[in-house]
Chains A and B, each alone.
Chain A
Amino acid sequence: MTQSNCSGAETASNGVCLFTLPEPLVFRSGAELSGVQLAYETFGTLAADKSNAVLVCHALTGDSHVASSVHGGQVKPGWWDEYVGPGKPVDTDRFFVICSNILGSCYGSSGPASINPATGSPYGLDFPVVTITDMVRAQRQLVRHFGISRLCAVTGGSLGGMQVLEWAARYPEMVAAAVPIATTTRHSAQAIAFNEVARQSVISDPNWQQGAYYGGPAPDLGLAVARMIGHITYLSDESMHVKFGRNLQNREQLSFNFETDFQVESYLHHQGRKFVQRFDANSFLYVTKAADYFDLELEKPESYASQAFKSSDTRFLVISFTSDWLYPSYQSKTLVTHLQRAGRDVSFCDITEKWGHDAFLLPNNHFADILGGFFSHVR
């Protein structure tokens, strides 16, 4: 439950470690940035021979706090508490779990809200456009900082799953097992479309000011609407029906105006309001763009992923959820087919679940058994 200290790195006030990349980061766009920082946390103990490390990659707007820890005498729950911790499927009694905040985000890692040393003010849109490749390049420097040459496993869901696939494709020799969950090898036009509507919502907010809103009012209305759009794609028709139906919110009858009539409306408003308190609008633009740009191009034999998957020894466990319409099961199946063709060691399960894309974050015994069983055999 307790975190290891931040050896060789700064400790931020909330117990999160800050690692400054020793080498400049060359982005896929060609941009180069030195002094890039990653915020990270670790759970469990790194073995003397550094053989027990697991990297967990978080989703779009997540952070490094994957599992519970005690800070200031208080237990701070993690976003994947169901699955990471002592005795949990990813067992921190056995594994040394590393989780770093992604590049471009706003929880301590370098991103558009960070201070540009050249100007002394936030980068805003001067921050280089980030891709999944860049996120993983930065993570790799962090992993190397621990002296780890091979990770027992890399796992994560959604955008985290894309990072898992990028790791397995770019650095197969460093990844003993890859567990991509509820993810895709490339965004569909539909997924890009939803992200673009969300970005346009931010960009059309008059407060956005070409991303130079720091110190003034932030584009909160646009960002809240963007989050509402995202939330719809994380749920499913059935889960919305089960949760809200057509139930009215705090009223007996329809209002016949544009106040909040339905519970589902109230829920989305609440999600939007909560989100603007915790997330930076520019970061949202950057990380959604990174998701849209991601494409393993598996059908192209000369792509880096096709090449890597032909020769890698990485064991794959691919998991999808039947009601996920953001990254539907067929997209995971496509990945599995490519891995089968390449003769790789791959397991796959399409878990029947009604909660939509968000299912990988929710309690599920089936999922826990699969994950725990697989990890108990990870070496």
Chain B
Amino acid sequence: MSANQTAALRPLRFDQQVIASWIEPETRVLDLGCGDGQLLGHLVREKQVHGTGIELSEAYVAQCIGQGLSVVHGNVNEELPNYPDKAFDYVIVSQTLQQVHRPTKMLEQLLRVGRFGIVSFPNFGYWKVRLQAMFGGRAPKTRELPYEWYDTPNIRVLTLEDFRKYGEEIPFRIMRQEAVAMPGGDPFPRRVNLLPNLRASYGIFMIEGR
């Protein structure tokens, strides 16, 4: 129970706060890769959404169900096709896109089962990343991308600009977007309006199928 309480009491990450602010109350929400259910739990409690999560980690699934959340233990790409068209108002992919083997397949399914998709991911165009690659000559390792190249769960690297271009191919329309700086340990995460592809460490997009 202590793990559940921790998840409920810990404040939302800044990108999750932005996502939560975009969600209308009493809507149907699917959270892909919902982790320990922190965002989903927040939405269920504060916005009375009808929430469902999909999560690969058994320990996280147990924590989520233990909090009273509805979560299916499984792989996102296998589970998404099971849901009917437009079964949800919002489908959230919070910091999962960069870890998925077939992101196009996932986004197509996401836009099928949801009216809107909300996607957040670490920005590989962030200046610290660029500097490390340019001057260090090595695969970048930052607070946002803290892994060695050989053990990272992030198998895709993309920038905010890449994602915007991606929308022409899938295709999707970007309804809302927010670039944020969330340096680890910085007590003042903030929105970035000037030169976001260079200065923001994370991007959050609300998209809709064309």
Stretch at the interface among B67-75, B151-159, B162-170: B67-75
Contact of A370 among B52, B65, B82, B83 (CB under 8 A): B65
Centre residue among B52, B72, B79 by max chain A CB count within 10 A: B72
Which residues of chain B have C-beta atoms less than 8 A from A337's C-beta? 82
Complex formed: what's the CA distance from A372 to B70 in Å? 14
Q: Does B183 contact A (CB under 8 A)?
A: no
Binds B, one of A274-282, A290-298, A344-352: A344-352
**Across-interface contacts of A369 in B (CB, < 8 A):** 1, 62-63, 66
The contact sample of 30 A-B pairs, CB cut-off 8 A, is A333-B74, A336-B72, A337-B82, A340-B79, A340-B82, A341-B82, A341-B83, A343-B83, A343-B84, A343-B87, A345-B70, A347-B71, A347-B72, A348-B71, A348-B73, A348-B74, A349-B58, A349-B61, A350-B58, A352-B58, A366-B59, A369-B62, A369-B63, A370-B61, A370-B65, A372-B66, A373-B1, A373-B66, A376-B68, A377-B68
Residues 341-379 of chain A, each 1 if its beta carbon lies under 8 Å from chain B, else 0: 101011111111000000000000010011011101100
Whether A373 touches B72, Cβ cut-off 8 Å, given contacts A341-B84, A351-B58, is no
Query: Among A343, A348, A373, which residue has its beta carbon within 8 angstroms of that of B67?
Result: A373
Measured between C-beta atoms, what is the minimum distance from B203 to chain A in Å? 30
Report B-chain residues with C-beta under 8 Å of the C-beta of A374: 65-66, 68
B73 with A350: CB separation less than 8 A: yes
Report A332 CB to chain B, min CB distance, Å.
10
Select which of A341, A345, A349 is within 8 A of B62 by beta carbon: A349
Q: How far is the CB of B142 from chain A (nearest CB, A)?
A: 33
Residues of A within 8 A of B83 (CB): 340-341, 343
Among residues of A, the one whose C-beta sits closest to the C-beta of B67 is A373
Nearest chain B residue, comparing its CB with the CB of A320:
B73
Q: Is A53 an interface residue (CB 8 A)?
A: no
Q: Which residue, A337, A341, A343, A347, has most C-beta atoms of chain B within 10 A?
A: A347
A interface list, Cβ under 8 A from B: 315, 317, 333, 336-337, 340-341, 343, 345-352, 366, 369-370, 372-374, 376-377
- Interface range on chain B (Cβ under 8 Å from partner): 20 to 34
Query: Which chain A residue lies CB-closest to B52?
Result: A345
The interface residues of chain B lying within 8 Å CB-to-CB of A343 are 83-84, 87
Of B65, B67, B71, B83, most buried by chain A (CB within 10 Å of CB) is: B65
- B177 proximal to A (CB < 8 A): no
A290 smallest CB distance to B (angstroms): 29
- Docked pose: A151 CA to B163 CA in angstroms: 49
Q: Do B72 and A317 touch across chains, with their CB atoms under 8 A apart?
A: no
Q: Which of chain A's residues has its CB closest to B88's CB?
A: A343
Residue on B nearest A378 in the bound complex, by CB: B68
Bound state CA distance, A103 and B34, in angstroms?
A: 43
Cα–Cα distance between A348 and B71 once the two chains are bound (Å): 6
B72:A346 contact, CB within 8 angstroms: yes
Closest to A344 in B: B70
Q: When the two chains form their complex, are residues A315 and B70 in contact, meaning their CB atoms are under 8 A apart?
A: yes
Residues of B within 8 A of A377 (CB): 67-68
